[in-house]
Chain A
C-alpha cells in the first residue's frame, strides 16, 4: 500500500467534507501526496489477437478477438476484449452497439454449459451427460423414423419422406456446420427443414 492509497482510505473513512479540510491539517503537501498523473495500463498488452466475424447481422463486420492464452497453440484461451478490425473493407474497424458488446454475449450469464433434460410434466431441467443425451436423441429419431417414414405414395412412387420429425437450422452457424447438418437431416428423409431465412 503506497502512501497515496492510505491517504485516500483515511479520507474516505473521515467523510468527504472533513476529509478535505483534514488534508491540509494532516500536513500532506499537495504535490508530494498526489499520485503522479498516469493513464490506465493498456489492457491488450500481451494478449493474443484472433480474426473473426461478427455473429449478428449479415454486414459481417471483421472483428478482432483478444484473449489471454492462445487457442491455436493449444492453450486455454479466455476472451478479454473484442473490437472492430480496421483492415476490414466493410466496417473499417467500426461496430454497432451489438458488435461492440460481443464480449458480453460470449460471457453471458445465461450461456449454456451443460446438457440438460426436462422430463414430461417436470418443472425443472436436470443435468445429464452428453452420452445420455445423444443416445436418447438417436433412439427417439430411429423409433419415430421407423414408425413414420413414408417410402412410397399411393401411386407407388418412391418418396422416402419423413414428416413427423422436423429440424430448424441456424443461420448464424457456419457454412460447414450447415453442410454437415444438411447431410444428416436430408439423409434421414426429413422434409420439415428450415432456417431463419423463412422468417
Chain B
C-alpha cells in the first residue's frame, strides 16, 4: 500500500478491481464503508463474479478474467479524450514530458526489440533521450511528438469502449458509466483509491495490470494524497515484512538486489547502483545504496566483513538466472536436481500450480523438512487419501521430517501490515506439547551445521563460520535482539556528514534511523528500511498511542511505519508546485516557506523547496513514471496480452500466446490447453470464511464453509444439466476435481464479440487434512506458468471443462 487501511476513510471513490476486499480483508474494508457512510463515497467493483464486495457496491461491472489491461488502458484513453486529467500533477510529477528514443515503438501487440527465439526483448530502445549534460531531455509543453505523454496517448488510442466490450465482455454502457465516475476524480479535490490483490497479480502479466492502474492514478493526481493511492491489500499477516526482509530468491533486505554472475566483484556490483539524477537538482535517494548494502553485510558477517574483502561481498551467493523462484525450484525438483527442501509454514502442495507435477517433484527429494503449527498436505504428500491424494506410498522414497512450531499466540515479535505498519505483539499461551519457536529451530539447525564445518571442514565454510551470532542464548536468540539487529547500530562513533564534530550515534548505540547508516563499515543494519523501529528511544513498534489529531487517519503514534514512520508514501505529491495542498480539506503536508509540515512525516527532505525537488525521490527522474523505461520485461507501457489458456486470440496479434516473454518450461508448454477441448474460463479465489489452507483445521470456520464447491451461472448449469447442490467434475489438461455445484445469478455468461464466454469460479480452501470435508484446490487444474517479471503463477485465468456426475447424496 502507498497509503494505509485507515486512510481509506478519506476517499471519494473506491475501485475494487483485481481483488475482493470485503471477503479477503473484511476489517480493512471497514474503512470503505466508513468513507461511504461519512463522506458519501462511492464504491465500484469490476470482477468476473458478483462478489460480497459487489453486494455493497454502488456500481458493478463484470469482466472476463485476464482482460484487465484492455479495461484500464481504455479508461486512460477515455480520460485523455475527455480531458479528465490532473494536468499540473501530470506535467510536474510524472515523466509525461520526458522525450523517448526514436527507435521505441509498438506494433501487433509487441514493443520494439522483440526476439521470439529468446522470448525476450532487447530493451535498449525503451529509454529517454539523454542530452550531453547527462540529463534526460524534456518538453514541459507536452507538444514534442516523442514525449511520453504523446506516446501514451497514441498507445491507448487503440483501447476503445468497443474494444472493451469485445475483449472484456463488459457492456459498453457499463464501462462508460464507470469511466465517468472515475473521471470526476481528476479534480484536484477529488480522490479515488485503488484496492487490489491477487486478482491482478496472479496472471502471466500481473505486474502490468498493476502498472495500468498506477498510471491511471497518476493521471488523476491520486498518488501521494489522502484517500488515494495504489493499495495492494496483500495476503498473509507478514507478507509485507517477509518481502521487506528479502526472503526471496533475488532479494537482500530493504529491496537491495542479490548479485548475479555479471556482478563479478563488489566494484562491478556497485557500479550499477549509481542512480545519478536524471534531472537537475533531484534527490535520487538510491544514491545511498552503498550505505545500506555495507551495513547489511556488516550485520551478516560483522568483523569478517572489511574494506579489504569488499565487505565479504563474495560470501553472498551469486545468481546465474534471474530467479530461483518456487516454480523454477519445483521444475528442478521434478528433474531430480533438488535433494533437500524446507517448508517453514508453507504448504506448496496446495498453493502452487499443477499439483500432479508438485507431487511428482516432492517424490524425487531425498529429504523434505516441514516446520508448521498444523498438519499440512505437503508434509503428508506421500500419504494415500483415496481420490483426494491417490499416491503410491510405498514407491515414494522421500524422507519427511515434520517439526511442530509455535503459533502467533505463543510468539513475540513484529509483523508488517499492508500499510507498512510494524506492529509488535506478545506471546499469550504456552505452546502445545513439544512445539518450539522457529528461532529455536533455525538456531538448532544452524549451530549443528556450523559445528559440522568446525569439526569436519568442507567447501567455503567462511560464510557459515563467520555469521554474526552474538546472542545471549545462542540456542534461542530473542525477538528483541533480532529486532535491534534489523534496526542497526553504530559499530564506531558516527558523526554528522555535514558537521564532523557532531556525534550522532556513539559506538554500540542503536542508530536513530537510516540517515545515520554509513558505507565505511562503521554501522550495521539488517534491513535499512526498518531503521528507526527500535532505536535508543526503545521499541517504537510497541507504541500504542491511538490519537488521531483532526481525524486524518494517520495515527503517527501507533506502532511504527517504515520508512521513517511515514504513513502515506510520496506525500509531497499531495501539494502543488507551491507546496499548497491540492485539497485544503485534506491537507497532508504543506510548505510553510521554510520547511514541510503537516500530519505526516514528509517523504522528502524537510527543507527541499517545492519548486525545485520532485516528489518521487526514489526515482532518479524525481518524477513518477508513466513510461517505465526498461524496468519491466514485458514493456514500458501495459499492452493487452491474453492468458496462456484463453478462449479468445489476442486481438492485436492472433499468433501471440499469453505473455510473449513469460518463462515457460518445455513440459509445461505441452500441458497448455485450447478452448476447443476446454471451452470454459476458470478463475480461483478465496472465500471470506476461510484463510488459505489453515482454517479448514478450525472447527468453526469449517462449519461456516464446510465443503468444496465451484460456482457457475444458471445458463451454463442448464446447458450442462447441472443441478444446484449436485456433484460436478471439473477438469483441465492437468488434472481433475470433484465438487458441489453452486449455481448462481452472480456469474453471468459474457459476450465477447461473437463468442459467449462462460466462467467457472473455483475457491481454494480445501484439501485432505484438517476438520473440513476433504476436497481439492484449484491448483490441481492450474497451469505451471508465472508472471514475466516476478513469476507469480497464473491462477486467475485458465481453461477447464465441466460435467455433472453422480456422487453421494447431500444429507
Contacts and interface: CB of A to CB of B under 8 A. Distances in A.
B241 interface: yes
Interface in B515-555: 526-527, 530, 544, 546, 548, 555
Interface stretch (A5-13, A14-22, A30-38, A142-150): A142-150
B725 interface: no
A78 interface: yes
B109 to A, nearest CB: 27
Contacts of A1: none
Contact of A179 (B340, B351, B485): B485
A191 B701 contact: no
Given A71-B428, A87-B546, A142-B456, A173 B242 contact: yes
B467 interface: yes
Contacts of A106: 407, 409, 429
Interface stretch (B218-226, B489-497, B683-691, B733-741): B683-691
B699 A104 contact: yes
A111 B344 contact: no
Given A162-B317, A179-B486, A199-B352, A108 B326 contact: no
A143 B652 CA distance: 53
B343 interface: yes
Contacts of B695: 98, 101, 105
Given A94-B27, A142-B449, A195 B341 contact: no
Interface in A139-189: 139-142, 144-146, 148-149, 151, 153, 155, 157-189
Contacts of A185: 247
B373 interface: yes
Contact of A186 (B233, B316, B429): B316
Given A170-B346, A179-B486, A181-B438, A72 B426 contact: yes
Nearest to A113: B433
B446 A58 contact: no
A56 B236 CA distance: 6
Interface in A93-124: 94-99, 101-102, 104-106, 108-123
Interface stretch (B149-157, B398-406, B580-588, B657-665): B398-406
A146 to B, nearest CB: 5
B781 to A, nearest CB: 16
> Which label, helix, strand, loop or mixed, suits the secondary structure of the A interface?
mixed
Contacts of B332: 163, 192
B271 interface: no
Given A71-B429, A72-B426, A102-B409, A146 B464 contact: no
Contacts of B326: 168, 194, 198-199
Nearest to B201: A199
A102 B701 CA distance: 10
A50 B408 CA distance: 12
Contacts of B698: 98, 101, 104-105, 108
A138 B485 CA distance: 25
Nearest to A68: B429
Interface stretch (B38-46, B416-424, B597-605): B416-424
A145 B443 CA distance: 18
B675 interface: no
Contacts of A61: 27
Contacts of B405: 112
Interface in B322-372: 324-326, 328-329, 332-333, 337-346, 348, 351-352, 366-367, 369, 372
B793 to A, nearest CB: 7
Interface stretch (B10-18, B166-174, B389-397, B743-751): B389-397
A180 B439 contact: yes
Most chain-B Cβ atoms within 10 A of its Cβ — which of A53, A87, A167? Answer: A53
Nearest to A162: B317
Contact of A195 (B247, B452, B477, B544): B247
Contacts of A146: 458-459
B435 interface: yes
17 contacts: A54-B408, A57-B237, A77-B428, A99-B27, A111-B435, A112-B435, A115-B403, A118-B399, A134-B448, A157-B264, A168-B341, A171-B241, A179-B527, A180-B439, A184-B467, A198-B792, A199-B326
In order of increasing CB-CB distance, the 4 nearest A-B pairs are: A113-B433, A170-B345, A174-B413, A138-B448
